[in-house]
DNA sequence: ATAAAATCTCAACTCTACTTGAGTTTCAAG
DNA sequence: CTTGAAACTCAAGTAGAGTTGAGATTTTAT
């Protein structure tokens, strides 16, 4: 066990202030294994600076409606104990970019549908895939299914 | 009170099958006032066909992470008792399109940030607004704040 | 006419993502 | 060295979005 360098570690309050994430949420993320911190002799958390990056990505994920379990999975390759290397982060970012693109394409498709359907005022039960769910089938999961 | 035309109304099971939404969820949406149905003499729900459109939009909203309270607000102008007119729907779709565009722009911004930051491998603490939360301040709400 | 399938209501439970509070301990400044 | 601010743990509570189950009733098909 070595000492915790006060110049290179942040208290939970500092992290909360810098990231805009509540202390209670940081406790929660730690419970889920998304982040971690060293402890002082008096048991208080001291965060390595690179943890701020993880937290920022968690915030980003939240904005996109990505569940924390997915974030946990993306973070799995990142080391908890040392500062992640460039290639560590690159692995994460690759997954992330794919997720983002999927999300964006999905929205763009919906925008097109909305413009062609309700937007035009036709409300055609024949051509509208948005209002005619039978036309927009997904194999499984939520959403319309063939009957 | 008039009879319910069996040719123009759907049982909850039929609606569930056509929309892919569970019966229990339909009950729930009804509780929230998002949808409604007439009742048979024996108290079973019979949905007018146009309710399927509402439900489809609820599904769309869910895919985008839009909370049901927002959907309720968008639906406020729609009549529950009669088939909505073209202009009724157009009002809803205008709101919807704006929401969609906002969502898409937000994602596009994040994609750019991700490409410029983690993607390039620089991980610069100076230029990266994604990993350097202090640079991307929002006045209030979740997200980074000046300290 | 009767049995099977579908619905009904209502309450309770689940899961995610946190927040709040109580009671205690540690840290930092004067 | 003392004291107020900041942290700690652990349990319980909240909100959104449903799901599940029990027991009763209705509808549909034979």
Which pLDDT belongs to residue A118? 54
Cβ-based contacts of A118 with chain B (< 8 Å): 89-90, 92-93, 96
Cα dist. A122→A28, A82, B48 in Å?
49, 59, 19
Q: Where are the alpha helices (DSSP H) in chain B?
A: 12-19, 23-31, 51-63, 68-75, 86-114
Domain A1-64 belongs to what topology? Answer: Multidrug-efflux Transporter Regulator; Chain: A; Domain 2 (1.10.1660)
pLDDT digits over A109-130, tens only? 777 766 666 555 444 444 555 4
A58 pLDDT tier (thresholds 50, 70, 90): very high
pTM: 0.78
Q: CA quadruple A27, A32, A34, A40: dihedral positive or negative?
A: positive
Which of A22-31, A131-140, B92-101 has the highest mean predicted lDDT (pLDDT)?
A22-31
Chain B 71-110, residues with CB within 8 Å of chain A CB atoms: 86-87, 89-90, 92-93, 96-97, 100-101, 103-104, 106-108, 110
pLDDT of residue A140: 38
pLDDT for residue A19: 94
- pLDDT tens digits, residue range A77-95? 999 888 888 888 888 878 7
Q: Mean per-residue pLDDT for B135-141?
A: 40
> B21, B128, B141: which is closest to A62 by C-alpha?
B141
pLDDT band, residue B87 (cuts 50/70/90) = confident
Residue B85, min C-alpha distance to chain A (Å)? 9
B114 pLDDT more than 90: no
Closest residue to D5 (CA to C1') is: A13
What pLDDT sits at residue B25? 98
CA–CA dist A136, A139 (Å, integer): 10
The string over A132-143, giving b where at least 16 C-beta atoms fall within 10 Å of a residue's C-beta and e elsewhere, is: bbeebeeeeeeb
- Cα–Cα distance between B143 and A59 in angstroms, integer? 7
| Model pLDDT, residue A145 | 43
| Position B136 pLDDT exceeds 90 | no
Chain segment A6-26, per-residue pLDDT in tens: 678 999 999 999 999 999 999
- Nearest chain A Cα to B105, which residue? A104
Q: Does the structure show a pLDDT above 80 at B50?
A: yes
Give yes or no for CB of B29 within 7 Å of strand C.
no
> Per mean pLDDT, which of A1-10, A25-34, A100-109, B68-77 is the most reliable?
A25-34
Q: Minimal Cα–Cα distance from B21 to chain A, Å?
A: 7
The mean pLDDT value for A30-39 works out to 97
For position B133, what pLDDT does the model report?
44
Question: At which residue do the structure tokens 């009002």 appear?
Answer: B91
Numbered ranges of CATH 1.10.1660.10 in chain B: 1-64
CA of B75 to C1' of C8 (A): 26
Give the lowest-confidence range in A104-108, A112-116, B11-15, B39-43.
Answer: A112-116
* DSSP structural state of residue A142: S
Q: How far apart are CA B101 and CA B18, in angstroms?
A: 28
């Amino acid at each position: 066990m070595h000492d915790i360098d006060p110049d290179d570690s942040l208290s939970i309050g500092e992290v909360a202030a810098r990231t805009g994430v509540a202390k209670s949420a940081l406790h929660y993320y730690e419970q889920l294994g998304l982040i971690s911190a060293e402890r002082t002799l008096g048991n208080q958390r001291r965060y390595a600076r690179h943890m701020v990056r993880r937290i920022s990505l968690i915030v980003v994920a939240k904005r996109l409606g990505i569940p924390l379990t997915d974030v946990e999975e993306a973070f799995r390759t990142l080391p908890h104990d040392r500062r992640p290397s460039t290639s560590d982060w690159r692995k994460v970012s690759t997954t992330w970019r794919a997720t983002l693109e999927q999300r964006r394409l999905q929205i763009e498709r919906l925008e097109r549908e909305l413009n062609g359907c309700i937007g035009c005022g036709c409300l055609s039960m024949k051509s509208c895939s948005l209002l005619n769910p039978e036309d927009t089938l997904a194999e499984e999961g939520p959403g319309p299914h063939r009957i």
